[in-house]
């Protein structure tokens, strides 16, 4: 199979690259390396089945040729991370919406209909704080919080684009709503909570819990996420549908902080940081987020391989190695313990 992965040097995309190359597929990645990193795909650079274009999806000049070559397209290239979304509100809308439209337009122009998988997000549920978020529930985006919602709006627009191209031109699109994906290669620079807590715990620095910490999230290991995505795409060869992709174990941010401290055997203390200080504006945090996975499970029979504890242990091992290397003045790539054992 020929697979195009936009954003394939990023955190989730690079795990998809690993999965498809391990299976013998040909993989083409386009990534502008804005949040992605060459190091995430460096292990494949000599693989004859692997190609990489460093380009922005908005201006990528080989788009028609490569989209026309692909049997399956994962469109993951986007501006992500709360800090980047706050800092670059116009770019979020342009890149996420126009980039998605460009990919779909090229897929349609190619004449034959590749399977498209679009990365959406639990952010589309906005303020909906039902105990379990189901795909057919309303998407409730507040008008109060200014640009904070630009990301949600961009992902709702991407979903609408995917559904429209499917209905109008018959391009099959799986729309995957990711819920808090975590795991190796994720960086905390743009706000993501788990790599931040792990880095703080390993250094015995205060763990910065934003707000009261009673807000909840459900974290899914990226190595599970990509297996679920592939299973959905296989199921959806000629179908268009929306599906939640994540893990339904819910945990408060305070409990997460305690868990990371315990797993790292750390001397860190928990420090509460007001939301305004953390994000620099009147920020509306989401109170709770837990996916209903009935659709994913009934379509694919998907089962998770990683518990949150395993993911955290892997991340602690990677972070310790990184710290040790930086103290010794060199840099190495580390494979997580669970991968070495596999």
**Interface contacts to ligand UDP, rule CB under 6 A:** 82, 180, 191-193, 196, 208-210, 215, 217, 253, 285-286
Q: CB–CB of 86/280 below 8 Å? A: yes
Output the smallest distance, CB 271 to ligand UDP, in A: 10
Which residues are the active-site residues? 151
Nearer to ligand UDP, 74 or 210 (CB): 210
Please identify which residue in the block is written with the tokens 């242990």. Answer: 313
Output the smallest distance, CB 13 to ligand UDP, in A: 18
Q: CB–CB of 95/150 below 8 Å? A: no
Residues 6+ away with beta carbon under 8 Å from 303: none
Please identify which residue in the block is written with the tokens 């103290």. Answer: 327
Nearer to ligand UDP, 126 or 172 (CB): 126
Output the smallest distance, CB 133 to ligand UDP, in A: 12
Where is 296: in which H helix or E strand? helix 294-300
Compute the 3-state secondary structure of the chain and give helix, strand, coil in percent, each to the nearest 5: 45, 15, 40
Nearer to ligand UDP, 60 or 178 (CB): 178
209: which 2 tokens?
């819990």
Nearer to ligand UDP, 50 or 125 (CB): 125
d(C-alpha 138, C-alpha 292), whole Å: 14
Residue 298: count of CB within 10 angstroms of its CB: 10
Output the smallest distance, CB 38 to ligand UDP, in A: 24
């Amino acid at each position: 199979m020929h697979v195009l992965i936009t954003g394939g040097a990023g955190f989730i995309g690079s795990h998809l690259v690993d999965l498809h190359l391990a299976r013998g597929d040909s993989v083409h990645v386009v990534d502008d390396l804005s949040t992605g990193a060459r190091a995430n795909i460096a292990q494949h650079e000599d693989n004859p089945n692997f190609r990489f274009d460093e380009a922005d999806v908005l201006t990528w000049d080989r788009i028609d040729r490569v989209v026309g070559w692909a049997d399956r397209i994962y469109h993951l290239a986007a501006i992500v991370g709360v800090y980047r979304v706050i800092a670059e509100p116009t770019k979020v809308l342009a890149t996420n919406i126009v980039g998605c439209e460009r990919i779909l337009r090229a897929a349609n122009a190619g004449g034959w209909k590749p399977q498209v998988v679009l990365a959406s997000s639990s952010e589309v549920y906005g303020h909906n704080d039902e105990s379990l978020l189901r795909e057919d529930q309303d998407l409730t985006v507040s008008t109060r919080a200014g640009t904070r919602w630009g990301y949600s709006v961009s992902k709702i627009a991407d979903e609408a684009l995917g559904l429209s191209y499917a209905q109008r031109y018959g391009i099959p699109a799986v729309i995957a709503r990711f819920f808090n994906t975590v795991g190796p290669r994720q960086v905390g620079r743009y706000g993501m909570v788990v790599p931040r807590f792990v880095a703080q715990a390993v250094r015995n620095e205060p763990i910065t819990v934003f707000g009261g910490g009673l807000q909840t999230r459900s974290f899914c290991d990226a190595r599970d996420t990509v297996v679920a995505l592939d299973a959905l795409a296989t199921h959806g060869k000629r179908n268009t549908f929306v599906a939640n992709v994540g893990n339904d174990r819910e945990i408060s941010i305070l409990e997460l902080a305690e868990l990371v401290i315990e797993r790292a055997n750390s001397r860190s203390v928990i420090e509460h940081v007001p939301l305004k200080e953390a994000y620099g504006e009147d920020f509306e945090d989401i109170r709770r987020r837990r996916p209903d996975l009935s659709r994913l499970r009934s379509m694919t029979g998907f089962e998770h391989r990683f518990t949150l504890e395993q993911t955290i242990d892997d991340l602690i091992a990677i972070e310790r190695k990184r710290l040790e290397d930086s103290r010794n003045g060199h840099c190495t790539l580390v494979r997580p313990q669970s991968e070495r054992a596999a």
